[in-house]
Amino acid sequence: MTRNDKGGLASWWWTVDRVALFAMLALLAIGLMLAFAASPAATGGPLTEGDFRYAAKQVAFAALSLAIILFTSLLNLRSIKIAAAAVFTLALIGSFIVLFTGSEVLGAKRWIDFGWMTLQPSEFLKPGFAILGASILADKARMVLRKELITLLLIVPALIVLMMQPDVGQTGLLLALWAALLFFYGIPLFWIGALAGGSAVLGMLAYALLPHVHHRVEQFLDPDQQGYQTKLALRAFEHGGFAGVGPGAGTVKYQIPYAHSDFIFAVAGEEFGLILCVAIAGLFCLLSVRLLLRSSRMKDPFAQLAGSALAVVTALQAFINMAVAVSMMPAKGMTLPFISYGGSSLFAVAMTMGFALSVTRQRSKIGQRDHHVFTFLREVPPAEVHPTEVLA
């Protein structure tokens, strides 16, 4: 493909951020490699032979994720806003349905079981809200309410449903995403501090009212009561050392619950050592900083806000997962983007990064017309009176 090609795919290739795209593909490839490493541990045990069924599923999930990244990154800004509105609405409805039909795991209802796979609708709230929130804040027209208040009214139903499940991790991520949008929008730091204080209050309420949250925090604060998973994860890192014990040679991974999902970073540390762990962290840093820099150079305020918020929420989720694995934070039950096993996580992060690639594409402004999803919230300007009508 040359720059003179006018086709859709050629135009996409020369306008998309290829450095960020290659970082995503590298993370996805590492995730597939670790799926083959962790699948025997997830399906077997120290004395029982496992298989590669999770790895096979992950290959199928990865193929669909690649299609999602390509499709969403090809969308124009108008289509992205429409798609985000549909995704956020369906995710909110799905998260509400989970309260009544979802399967309960570790004291929380988050998944809808379809038999061949489970779906976590709350994962898709983040990309949908990032685009919609950016669309509201970047709209140049005056609205019937303050734009910050409209984004609050948009996020409150999602927060209520998440706390009813309860899913403290996703609630915190959604609040952090909202705070990132408001910060990049330029609201006073006083309100960012107020939002941080409100989030701290919600965290304390979760600690006081939710037994599994209380238990995890107590384990984290008391070194003598270190959690079972965290203790095994640290042992896996110690066993792997600098270069790891080799592919398939890990033994501690067989004892770690959810080694293929929540604690996949420990599997990477045991079998491939500090080298791969640093490479994973470095790729996430490269991806996040690249998208932030690319977003800052965009001339469209919507692209600036959306690209920056999508980069921040993905980086934060990756940091939390890795921090939990090395005992820097209490256990959250949060996946590592692109790396952990699971269709919901992989599809949601693919959509998130596809949206980020799309809004940061170097498009020509010629012939473009913006599309406003929330036109009905705009203030109706007063009708202009013609001078001849006044004289009459």
Residues 243-267 have pLDDT tens digits of 889 888 888 888 888 888 888 999 9
The total number of structural domains in the chain stands at: 1
Q: Tell me, what's the pLDDT at 124?
A: 93
Residue 296 lies in a domain: yes
Residue 300: Cβ within 10 Å count:
18
With cut-offs at 50, 70 and 90, classify the pLDDT of residue 105.
Answer: low
For residue 164, being part of any structural domain is answered with yes
| 286 within a domain of the structure (yes/no) | yes
Tokens of 69: 């990244």
Q: Is the pLDDT of residue 132 over 80?
A: yes
Asked if residues 269 and 277 have their Cβ atoms less than 8 Å apart, the reply is yes
**23 HSE (CA, 13 A, CB side):** 24
DSSP one-letter string for 328-374: SS-------TTTSS-HHHHHHHHHHHHHHHHHTS----TT-----TT
* Residue 306: predicted pLDDT: 94
Report how far residue 178's alpha carbon sits from residue 182's, in angstroms, rounded to the nearest whole number: 6
Q: For 37-51, 146-160, 187-201, 325-339, which range has the lowest pLDDT when averaged over its residues?
A: 37-51
Q: Is residue 259 part of a domain?
A: yes
Residue found by looking up tokens 């039950």 in the block: 333
Per-residue pLDDT of 144-186, as tens digits, reads: 888 999 999 999 999 999 888 888 888 889 999 999 999 999 8
Count of residues making up the chain: 392
pLDDT at residue number 47: 61
- Would you say residue 330 lies in a domain? yes
How far apart CA 133 and CA 22 sit, in angstroms, is 28
Reported as a pLDDT band with limits 50, 70 and 90, residue 356 is very high
More confident residue, 39 or 388: 39
Mean pLDDT of the chain: 84
pLDDT tens-digit series, residues 192-238? 888 888 888 877 887 777 776 767 777 777 665 556 678 888 888 99
Q: What is the pTM of this model?
A: 0.86
| Mean pLDDT for the stretch of residues 258-279 | 90
On whether residue 231 sits in a domain, the answer given is yes
Q: Would residue 357 count as lying in a domain?
A: yes
pLDDT reading at 30 higher than 60 = yes
* Selected residue with higher pLDDT from 352 and 15: 352
Percent of the chain, pLDDT > 90?
43
How confident is the model at residue 167, as a pLDDT?
82
The mean pLDDT of 344-372, rounded to a whole number, is 78
User: Which range of residues forms the domain containing residue 277?
Assistant: 19-361
Identity (one letter) of the amino acid at 65? S
In a domain, residue 39? The reply is yes
Residue for token digits 């409150």? 156
Which DSSP string do the residues of 19-59 spell out, in sequence order?
HHHHHHHHHHHHHHHHHHHHHHHHHS-SSS---SHHHHHHH
